[in-house]
Structure 1
Amino acid sequence: MEYPLQVGFHHYSVNKPRFVLPIGRDDDHWLLFALTHGHFRYRIAGIEGTAVPGDVIVCPPGIDVRREALAPLTLHYAGVQPTSGEALLPTPREFGSGGPYRFAVRDTKRHYANLRRIAAVSGRRDAMSALRLCHGLSDLWLQLQEELEDRLQAASAPPDSTMQAVRREIEARAFDDGRLQDIAAGASMSRTVMTKRFKAAYGMTPQQHVNALRLSRAKQLLIHTDYTLDHIAGLCGYDSGSYLSRVFHDAEGARPSEYRRRNRL
């Protein structure tokens, strides 16, 4: 079987309090950070963000990635090279201030099952384990490509290029303190005008889109981590766990604790 990439190296770290790997780059690998527990801050090509469980951070060859652990980390760190020589990512400007470097894989069942298989062969030197490692990382790579294709299709579909840019900016800042008022001002319009144009283009208001993104991340963290509700709230852009609980119940008809209990793998 021919795989879409070659594996240069792979490390699996469990409950590590900090990064100990060098920051400088002198290789031609794409770097992948697939996080299963903990969270860390990163900076790639001037773009900053925070990775949480379920995220994959991708760094192109020749670009330094700065990172800081914010909680003990369990993650896969790999260096790969596409066999076709095709680049995975377009330029950062196509995705607003968030850039294309953070991927929140939507098929979490496939993603976590894949990471468990990769972890099972980590550190082994036999040929079969090497083959399984390549298979697992190749499937992860294909998931990222599928996500990228969906992003590009969504960006090119609406006729209003201004609203495309607004949507990318909203998605980049949904979990931080980016206010919709500031995003509207950056697009040289009032929030009211932005809301009307955004709803006409996408069938939902900017706030509804932010709420959907935050709830999606909250569900992911409830299922795949043991984080407290307050901790999850902070990672999803909510002021407190109690506020997240109210929003979650209104949207899902169940408390976060009930959702976690029913959906744990």
Structure 2
Amino acid sequence: MIPNIQLTRYYYGEQREQFSLAEDMYQGWVMLAAQDGSFSFTIDGGDDTKEQLTQFGELIFCPPSHTLKRHVQQTLSFHFCEFTCSGDWTLPQVVRLKDVSRLRSTFQYLREWQETEDLHQQYRGDAQHLIEDLIFQSHREQYKAQHNNAGTVDPLMNKAAAYIESRTCEHELSLQELAATLGISSSQLTRRFQSAYGLSPVRFATKVRLARARILLVETQDTLENIAEQCGFQNAFYFSRVFSNQMGISPSGYRKNYRV
């Protein structure tokens, strides 16, 4: 059962070469997660005292009164929050979230909340709901890992999905480059990704691009050419063709039907 939590503080740090404090101990629970870049960490008194490397797609949870040591490995943007909770509950030190699209969206809303200073206190509850959702997702992944052998999480494919999610709208997806980054062959990447996510890396990338495109169609006045460029499509014609084939409706029709 997920406990009631109370958010104590939240902070988004951008483009850091190092943490302000290499280690600290906290009165409440702490969640630390990379947005971009990577960092290594250990938790004194935790289940695993070996230094571990983490990046986008993974949430680090440090219990109260444990020392969290951390070092930036690659220029880092990160999310930090401290919270208290009722009752006894546990989470692993590292939780890898499979739904990286949902994670990126949650992170974006948290960043926007922090940046809107005049609404920061007025809508403090919004930030708490977002943190609660991250904890809900973490518990769900933990439960699935413990009770659903058929749906066992493949941590390396989580990294692959996070890589695609973070880059596919800005860069053409190269399976060879991604496979080399992960230390496996392209054929292994395709097979394992298909097993973990039910679709190929290329189709996953298209899904990410179309999800971004749907938001831009509804929430902006951008032209199809601009949207195509922002979502990693070659041009507006190709974007329209892919969108229509996958969604069963043209981009213009989607914008007309779903804009409120």
Q: Shorter-chain-normalised TM-score: which range?
A: 0.5 to 0.7
Report if aligned partners of 2:32, 2:81 keep a CA contact under 8 Å in 1: yes
For residue 235 of structure 2, what is the amino acid of its counterpart?
A: S
1:1-265 equivalences under 5 Å are 3-7=5-9, 25=20, 42-43=36-37, 45=39, 80-84=81-85, 90-91=93-94, 94=96, 103-105=103-105, 122=119, 130=121, 132-150=122-140, 164-174=155-165, 175=168, 176-185=171-180, 186-191=182-187, 194-200=189-195, 202-265=197-260
Structure 1 residues 189 and 119: alpha-carbon distance in aligned structure 2, compared to 1, 3 A threshold: closer
Task: Quote the Cα distance in structure 2 between the aligned partners of 1:181 and 1:264.
Answer: 39
Task: Quote the Cα distance in structure 1 between the aligned partners of 2:186 and 2:11.
Answer: 49
Report if aligned partners of 2:145, 2:153 keep a CA contact under 8 Å in 1: no
Task: Quote the Cα distance in structure 1 between the aligned partners of 2:33 and 2:158.
Answer: 26
Report if aligned partners of 1:5, 1:81 keep a CA contact under 8 Å in 2: yes
Partner SS state of residue 103, structure 2: strand
- Percent identity of the aligned residues? 21
Report if aligned partners of 1:245, 1:255 keep a CA contact under 8 Å in 2: yes
**TM-score, normalising length: structure 1:** 0.53
Report if aligned partners of 2:7, 2:128 keep a CA contact under 8 Å in 1: yes
Structure 1: which 5+ runs fail to align? 11-18, 34-40, 50-57, 69-77, 124-129
Task: Quote the Cα distance in structure 2 between the aligned partners of 1:240 and 1:83.
Answer: 49
Task: Quote the Cα distance in structure 2 between the aligned partners of 1:171 and 1:220.
Answer: 20
Report if aligned partners of 1:170, 1:180 keep a CA contact under 8 Å in 2: no
Structure 1 residues 247 and 155: alpha-carbon distance in aligned structure 2, compared to 1, 3 A threshold: farther
**TM-score, normalising length: structure 2:** 0.54
Aligned pairs, number: 218
Q: Deviations over 1:3-47 (max 9, x none)?
A: 52124789xxxxxxxx8x9x86359787899xxxxxxx9545398
Structure 1 residues 7 and 161: alpha-carbon distance in aligned structure 2, compared to 1, 3 A threshold: closer
Q: Deviations over 1:124-150 (max 9, x none)?
A: xxxxxx4x5332211121122234445
Q: Deviations over 1:33-72 (max 9, x none)?
A: 9xxxxxxx954539888xxxxxxxx99987779689xxxx
- What displacement does 1:220 show? 2.5
For residue 6 of structure 2, what is the amino acid of its counterpart?
A: P
Report if aligned partners of 2:244, 2:251 keep a CA contact under 8 Å in 1: yes
Partner SS state of residue 188, structure 1: coil
- What displacement does 1:90 show? 4.9
